[in-house]
Every structure is written in C-alpha cells, then in structure tokens.
Amino acid sequence: MDVLNDLMGGFGSAFSPLHLLLAFAGCTLGSLVGVLPGLGPATTVALLLPLTFVFDPTGALVLFAGIYYGGMYGGSTTAILLNVPGETASVPTTLEGHPMARSGRAGAALATAAIGSFVAGTISTVGITFAGPAMAQIAEKIQPAEYFAVMVLAFATVTAVVAEAPARGLCSLFLGLAIGLVGIDSLTGQARYTFGVPELYDGVQIVAVAVGLFAIGEALYTAARMRRAPEEQMLPVGGRIGMSPEDWRRSWKPWLRGTAIGLPIGALPAGGAEIPTFLSYNVEKRLSRHKKEFGKGAIEGVAGPEAANNAAFSGVLMPLLTLGIPTSATAGVLLIAFQMYNVQPGPQLFETQSALVWTLIASLYIGNVMLLVLNLPLIPLWVKLLRLPRPLLTAGILVFAALGVYALSQNAVDLGIAVLFGLLGFGMRRAGYPVAPLILGAVLGPMAETQFRRAMAFSEGDWTIFFTRPLSAAILCLSLIALAGPMAARALRRNREREPEPAG
C-alpha cells in the first residue's frame, strides 16, 4: 500500500499544470528531434540537455521523461519510412517495417510500432513502480566492493555488446575513464590533468562532452556522407494510419512477448536494448504462422522488436534509479541530467528524494499516454519535417547544439570542449570505434574510483577484498565472462568461416 500511496502522491504533483505542460513539451520535442534521420534517443537527450537548466529539478526531470520517451518513439518513423535506424536497437524494425512501407502499408507499420511502444512502456513503468523500491532496499545492503564490481560488469557488457572489435570498445572505455579523472582529486586535493586551465578544476563538463559526442559528432558524420551517399528516398504514407482487425490479431501477442523479453534484460545492470530487440525478432520469426512474409513485410517483425525496444529502454531506468548505474548511452546522458541538479540516483534516492522520484515515475505514465495521442495524428507532420533538405537539418542541429552548450555555462571553454569532442565523435564513427563506452566511462569513472577507494579503506589496503567477498567475486567473474565470451564467439565463428568445405 505504501507504493500506491507514494504513486498517488506522485500523480498529484505530476498533474499540476506546470508539470503537465513540461511533460507535453518533452514528448513533442523528443519526438520532433528523435524523428530526424540518424538521431537516436541518446543524441536527442544530449541535444536537448541544456534546455532543462532553467527549471527546478522535479520539473526538469519531468521534461526529460517526455524527451526520453519521445526520442524512442521518433526513431521508428525513420526506420520504417527511410530505412534509417536511429540506433542499433532499431535495426530489426527496418527489416520488416520498410518492406511494409514499400508495399503501401506504412500506416499499419507506424501504428503497430506506436501502440506496441505504448503497451510495453506502460507495463514496464508498472514494473518500475513496484520493483524499484524493493531493488533500492536490496541495494542499500551492497558494500563498496560490490558496487565497484557491478560498475565493472556494466563496463564489460556495454563494451562487449556495442563493439564489433572488443579492443576498440576497450579503447573507447579507457578514454572515457581518463576523462573522468580530470579535475581536483577529492582525496588529496591535487589537480589532475587540468593543464593549468582553472575551468577544468571541477572536471570536464559532462554536458558538453555528451552534446559534442552525440549531437555535433552525429551531425558532422551525416554531413560527411551527404556527397558520397545518395539521400534516402522518403516513402509515402499510403492509406489510413491504423490497423485492421487482422493486424491487431497478429500484433498483440508480439507486443506482450517483446515486453517480456525487453524489460528483464533492460533492467539488468548489464542490460541494453540491442540484445532484446534482435532476440524478439528471432522469436517472432520462429513462432509466426506467416514465416514466408518475413523479409517482405511481416507485421510481427515490427510489433515485437518495437515493444522489446521500448521495454528495454524503460527497464534501464531501474538500475539507474536504484543503483545509480547507467547501462546504455542514453541512460548515461540521463545520469548527467540528474547530476546537473545535484541529484544522485542510488539506493537512497527513494528516501531522500521521494517526492521527486515518484513524480518522475508518475510522469512516465502520463508521457506514455501523451505520446500515443500525439504521435499517430502527427505522423503526417513528421513526414513533412523529414522532407526538409538534409543540409538544412544538419546545420540546424550544429547551431542548436553550440547555442545550448554556451547558454548552459556561458563559458567559451565548455563550447571548445563540445566542439573538440564533436570532432572526436566524428573521427570515432569514421574509424568504427563505439561512442557508448566512452560516455559511460566518463560518467561512471569517478563513481567507480570512489567505490574502489572506499573498499580499499574498509579493507585497510587489502585488494583481495574484491575476491574474498562472495558477491563481489561472482560479479567480477561474470564481467570476465561478458568480456571474453563475445571475443571467443567471434574467434570461433572466424575459424568456422576459414575451414574449407568438404569435397562433394
């Protein structure tokens, strides 16, 4: 009953006129930016991050809840109409959604994506509501050694999942960890890697890093491809935007299965949205009675992955709120948003910031309904937006990102940092290095260092504490498996490909 009472209190705050307006603005802005080609939820949140600094913490996080969900919804439009996924997790949607659009069923594909996202988002938010406080109580009993081990697990899994070559993922991660070391050492008071620049004494401005890596870097990468790659052809939205009774019959089970796959994987400290979306697609392909339609426009191949994608993205909020650990690039940017207001997610959040966290959870329910109401009628508007010249859109993103970073601190150094990391993000994309491990390393690095030092202080300098505590040792073993497993699988696959076929 305490959970329901807290949730009702959260709804009381979320239904205030200001918070409703902020939720509506967040959903609209998130959808507007998220629908632009190549801009995933992480880029959307990073680009709009400076906008929230004028609000109080509760209002800003309500706005971010709308932006977060809106960015996820927007990606399905480009995946279906342009065959351009906003992020890796949207790739399965292109496999069936774009063929549906080519065959004149874009309206049904967009509808099942929107409704499936709503179903998955609502069920996932219910899960956060009831499981979040319980996870926070368990997390309160975790010692620094276990906290450090969980962060190592997050580093290992994200690096292994997003990188085709694990060595590149590790390089990106270590660069992020090095960025996190910049500033005054909290223990000794010594300046580290500041190069005599006073503005760096408080560390590198993570907002500038996020905007540079995601928004500026993505815009530069898109601009560089314009001359070499022809602009994608926008498919018309033929027919009405809705679903026939047959579409409903074929979609509702994939929605539920996608939610059941995405939520638990996303909620794990080693979660993310890539694995559940591809897993959901494979499940639907095996279970479908219309296997011959796959690859040609099977609606199950849109409904299941879109539900899994939204459920996984909602699930990452659970370790973020209860452990303070982001398990994806988007969650890393959200953690930056919390830290902007001196709000540290973790086991104490449900006690120290009870009103804020329950207003945030209530706003997830409200934002999910708003997005369903908004997105289906506004799809024709998003289509018109996508018809704007690509150079104009790219230039607008660059200008908006630069103005946002400068307005946040009115500091030329932070603007220079954003541009520098924009160039770095562009170079990493060109060279095939993943960006997600870098931002997670920069955000989680200082926290991992703090927990490591606390564990060493409790053990009086005995580093074996990480292996003598059973839970910590088990988590570190899982980290090793998570890092080495994909490497071994890739090596085995390469060996099989090199083996000569037996002579007939």
Amino acid identity for residue 464 in this structure: T
Residue 140 lies in a domain: yes
Residue 258 lies in a domain: yes
Residue 502 lies in a domain: no
Residue 239 pLDDT class (50, 70, 90 cuts): low
Residue 49 lies in a domain: yes
Amino acid identity for residue 459 in this structure: S
Q: For residue 234, what pLDDT is reported?
A: 56
Range in 356-370, 389-403, 444-458 the model is least confident about: 389-403
Is residue 78 within 8 Å of 386, Cβ to Cβ?
yes
Q: Which residue has the tokens 């960006």?
A: 435
Q: For residue 75, what pLDDT is reported?
A: 72
Q: Is the pLDDT of residue 17 over 60?
A: yes
Q: Is the pLDDT of residue 270 over 80?
A: no
- Pairing state between β 183-184 and 191-192: antiparallel
Is residue 238 within 8 Å of 106, Cβ to Cβ?
yes
Is residue 316 within 8 Å of 154, Cβ to Cβ?
no
Q: Is the pLDDT of residue 501 over 70?
A: no
Q: For residue 61, what pLDDT is reported?
A: 83
Range in 86-90, 293-297, 342-346 the model is least confident about: 86-90
Residue 227 pLDDT class (50, 70, 90 cuts): low
Residue 423 pLDDT class (50, 70, 90 cuts): very high
Q: Is the pLDDT of residue 462 over 80?
A: yes
Q: Please give the sequence-ordered ranges of beta strands (E in DSSP) within 179-223, or none if there are none.
A: 183-184, 191-192
Residue 488 lies in a domain: yes
The 3-state DSSP composition of the chain as helix, strand, coil percent (nearest 5) reads 75, 0, 25
Of residues 292 and 258, the one with the higher pLDDT is 258
Burial of 250 (C-beta count, 10 Å sphere; 0-12/13-18/19+): buried
Average pLDDT for 82-106: 77
Residue 352 lies in a domain: yes
Distance from C-alpha of 439 to C-alpha of 328, rounded to nearest angstrom = 9
Residue 504 lies in a domain: no
The chain-wide mean pLDDT, for the chain, equals: 80
Q: Is the pLDDT of residue 68 over 70?
A: yes
Q: For residue 497, what pLDDT is reported?
A: 65
Q: Is the pLDDT of residue 449 over 60?
A: yes
Give the three-state DSSP class for 183. Answer: strand
Residue 501 lies in a domain: no
Q: Is the pLDDT of residue 454 over 80?
A: yes
Is residue 63 within 8 Å of 77, Cβ to Cβ?
no
The partner residues of 183 in beta bridges, in order of sequence, read: 192
Q: Is the pLDDT of residue 285 over 80?
A: yes
Structural domains counted in the chain? 1
Rounded to an integer, what is the distance from CA 440 to the centroid of its chain? 11
Q: Domain range holding 80?
A: 1-229+238-493
Residue 427 pLDDT class (50, 70, 90 cuts): very high
The partner residues of 184 in beta bridges, in order of sequence, read: 191
Q: What is the pLDDT of residues 367-400, one digit of tens each?
A: 888 888 887 777 777 666 666 777 787 787 788 7
Q: What is the pLDDT of residues 163-203, one digit of tens each?
A: 556 778 888 888 989 988 888 887 777 888 888 788 788 78
Residue 274 pLDDT class (50, 70, 90 cuts): low
Distance from C-alpha of 21 to C-alpha of 18, rounded to nearest angstrom = 5
Q: For residue 259, what pLDDT is reported?
A: 92
Distance from C-alpha of 9 to C-alpha of 6, rounded to nearest angstrom = 5
